[in-house]
Amino acid sequence: MTELGARLKEARLAKGYSIDDLQEITKIQKRYLTGIEEGNYATMPGAFYVRAFIKQYAEAVGLNGDELLETYKTDIPSPSNDDVSKSIPATPSRRTLGGRSSNKFMEVFPMIVVALFVIAIIVIVWTLYQSKPEDSKDLVEPSDEVVIEQQSQSEQNSKDPVVEEQEEPEEPVEEEVEEPVPAQQLTFVETQGETSTYDLTGAENYVVKLVATNNTWLNIRDQDNKILVDQAIVAGETFELDVASSSRVRVRIGSTPGNTVYMNGQVVEFPTDRPTQNLVIQFQK
């Protein structure tokens, strides 16, 4: 057992935590927690996780994680970019998933346009045919009597005084006023410990996004405590997840400094200065 492991174990026992208790608090597998206490870092997936797990362990038992990492930096392996990139599972983006259906739609779209054009032509031809007189012979040729009668009528009209017809004023047309669509509203409810609760109303979409400027660990669960995401996010990476099928999500950020959480493009504030925080967002659909 290393000096760092002994110090962490001593702090854990002082808190009265067992390895199982600590696993429930930190969500770190107990074989990794045991490896930290014994100084056996070979069981962990990479140097980045060693430092992240030690810091989270320390904060869970009331120690300063950054201070411990600095004090025992010679005993802890340094992370490399290769270790972090290999540990992150390659997950397809929402754009890639939606690309296939978009390509199929673009293949069918020209056929739909042509079909609508043909239908429009048929409707126009049918309408013109229906409005055409059934028998052109029914048209009455003007006779001499009609001409004489028209002339007489014209002479009579010329004798009558001209009366100007006044146009009736047009009634104003009332424009229909569209009812305003309620805008999305994210309301802060309360904070208990490292967990802060928000209510989301008036939303059409339900997309959680994390923009990371520092390395962090991301864990997202739904209303049934089912894990939707549990992975490391590298500095400079942007992660998105559509949670429209859920009625509530809990977003746990392992390291909040420099990292930002969005809900449908709206920033979800971290109410406290804790390095590790939970953001619970309840959907009022």
**Distance between CA atoms of residues 151 and 156, nearest Å:** 9
Q: What domains lie within the chain, and their CATH numbers?
A: 3-87 (1.10.260.40), 185-284 (2.60.40)
Residue 280 near residue 198, CB atoms below 8 Å:
yes
Q: Which ranges of 75-214 would DSSP assign to H, the alpha helix?
A: 81-87, 94-131, 144-159
pLDDT by residue for the chain (285 residues), tens only, comes to 788 888 899 988 999 999 999 999 999 998 999 888 888 888 888 888 889 999 999 999 999 989 888 888 888 887 665 454 444 444 444 444 444 556 677 788 888 999 998 999 999 998 988 876 555 445 445 444 443 345 555 555 555 544 455 666 677 667 776 766 568 999 999 999 999 999 999 999 999 999 999 999 999 999 999 999 999 999 999 999 999 999 999 999 999 999 999 999 999 999 999 999 999 999 998
| Helical axes 3-15 vs 30-38, angle rounded to 10° | 130
Q: For residue 57, what are the CA distances in angstroms to 9, 33, 66, 243, 252?
A: 10, 8, 11, 29, 15
Could you tell me if 191 and 271 are in contact, meaning their C-beta atoms sit under 8 angstroms apart?
yes
- Helix H or strand E segment including 54: helix 47-60
Evaluate if pTM is beyond 0.85.
no
- Which residue's structure tokens are 């056929």? 111
Q: Is the dihedral of CA 199, 216, 87, 23 positive or negative?
A: negative
